[in-house]
Amino acid sequence: MPPIDRRVRRTQTALAQALIALSLEKGYATVSIRDITARAGIGYATFFRHYPDKESLLTAVLELFVGELTGLLETASANNPAASGELIFRYVGEHHELCRVLLGSRSGGDLVRQLYSAGLRPLLAEQPQQPGSVAPPELIAHHSVSATVALIEWWFENGMALSPTHMGEIYASLIIRPLQQLGYNP
């Protein structure tokens, strides 16, 4: 793919930042395209050169978020689930405004589905169902992603008071180690 022109990238970034800021201020459902373009300092018609609607802009932001997060986790050590958890919570903490918008919008379910599809499903699908396990690998993957998102939501609801390192330990204890005890190694 050819690289995206800097002006196009700058416009898309301004639109994404405007969507995030406005969604935090007044809720995603009430934000209009006119609101977004006014905040971004971009012409109304210009918006439609990049996205057909507000949901497409949110989807593009979601895909970028999931891509960056899964790319980060690919570099993590599978032998240290607490360190992987710390990476997750450090990234989410650095992007907490975006993450709050994604979780609070109609794309909240899409966030779970994309994390599942991009992250754990391919890893766990490669593993056969473990002897004695009543759950297929796909269900284990879905549970793991859903539990991780629930842990992130809890962290937000509690003011992100615990450090990413501490949250990484909790993630390892509540989510990864039980899966490892079942014979899965996500």
Q: Give the residue ranges of the chain where pLDDT is below 70.
A: 1-4, 77-78, 105-132, 183-186
The domain defined by 1-51 carries CATH number 3.40.50.410: no
- Residue 42, token pair as written in the block: 């971009």
Task: Determine the pLDDT at residue 116.
Answer: 60
Task: Determine the pLDDT at residue 89.
Answer: 95
Reported as a single tens digit per residue, the pLDDT across 135-186 is 777 777 778 888 988 999 999 999 999 999 999 999 999 998 888 777 666 5
Nearest alpha carbon to residue 13 among 32, 41, 34:
41
- DSSP states of 32-98 as a string? -HHHHHHHHT--HHHHHHH-SSHHHHHHHHHHHHHHHHHHHHHTS-TT-HHHHHHHHHHHHHHTHHH
Q: Where are the domains of the chain?
A: 1-51, 54-181
Task: Determine the pLDDT at residue 106.
Answer: 56
Task: Determine the pLDDT at residue 172.
Answer: 94
Task: Write down the architecture of domain 54-181 according to CATH.
Answer: Orthogonal Bundle (1.10)
Task: Determine the pLDDT at residue 71.
Answer: 81
Phi, psi of 61 (to 5 degrees): -65, -45
Task: Determine the pLDDT at residue 104.
Answer: 75
Task: Determine the pLDDT at residue 27.
Answer: 85
Task: Determine the pLDDT at residue 128.
Answer: 63
Task: Determine the pLDDT at residue 162.
Answer: 97
Indicate whether this model's pTM tops 0.85: no
